[in-house]
Homo-oligomer: A and B are copies of this chain.
Amino acid sequence: MVINSPSNKTTFNYKKAMNKKKIINDPVYGFISIPYEIIYDILEHPYFQRLRRIKQLGLTHFVYPGALHTRFHHALGAMHLMQKAIRNLQYKGIDISPEEAEAATIAILLHDIGHGPFSHALEHTIVNVHHEDLSVLFMEQLNEEFNGALSLAIKVFKNEYPKKFLHQLVSSQLDMDRMDYLNRDSFFTGVSEGVIGYDRIIKMLHVHNDEIVVEYKGIYSIEKFLIARRIMYWQVYLHKTVLSAEQMLIRFFERIKFLSIANTPLELPSSLHFFVKNKVSVTDFRANRKRYLDQFALIDDIDIAYTIKNSIKHPDFILAYLAQCLTHRRLFKTEIQNTEFKSDLLQDIRLKLEKCITLKNDIDVSWLIIKGSESNIAYSTKKDEIKILMKDRQIKKLLEASDHIIDSDILVKHFLCYPKI
Contacts and interface: CB of A to CB of B under 8 A. Distances in A.
Interface stretch (A121-129, A158-166, A250-258, A404-412): A404-412
A199 B30 contact: yes
A401 to B, nearest CB: 12
Nearest to A43: B329
B405 A405 contact: yes
A3 B421 contact: yes
A13 to B, nearest CB: 11
Interface residues of A, number: 93
A263 interface: no
Interface in A186-225: 187-193, 195-197, 199-200, 203, 220-221, 223-224
A4 B305 contact: no
A306 B317 contact: no
A224 B189 CA distance: 17
Contacts of A325: 6
Contact of A26 (B33, B66, B358): B66
**Across chains A and B, which 9 residue pairs bring their CB atoms closest together, nearest first?**
A27-B190, A25-B190, A68-B68, A6-B330, A306-B306, A3-B356, A302-B305, A6-B324, A192-B197
Given A6-B321, A192-B195, A224-B231, 13 more contacts: A4-B357, A4-B359, A6-B325, A7-B328, A23-B203, A30-B199, A33-B91, A52-B61, A193-B197, A220-B231, A269-B309, A404-B407, A405-B407
Interface of A: 1-7, 11, 14, 21, 23-28, 30-31, 33, 44, 46, 49, 52-53, 61, 63-66, 68-70, 72-73, 76, 91-92, 187-193, 195-197, 199-200, 203, 220-221, 223-224, 227-228, 230-231, 234-235, 269, 298, 300, 302-303, 305-306, 309-310, 317, 320-321, 324-325, 327-330, 338, 353, 356-360, 403-405, 407, 411, 419-421
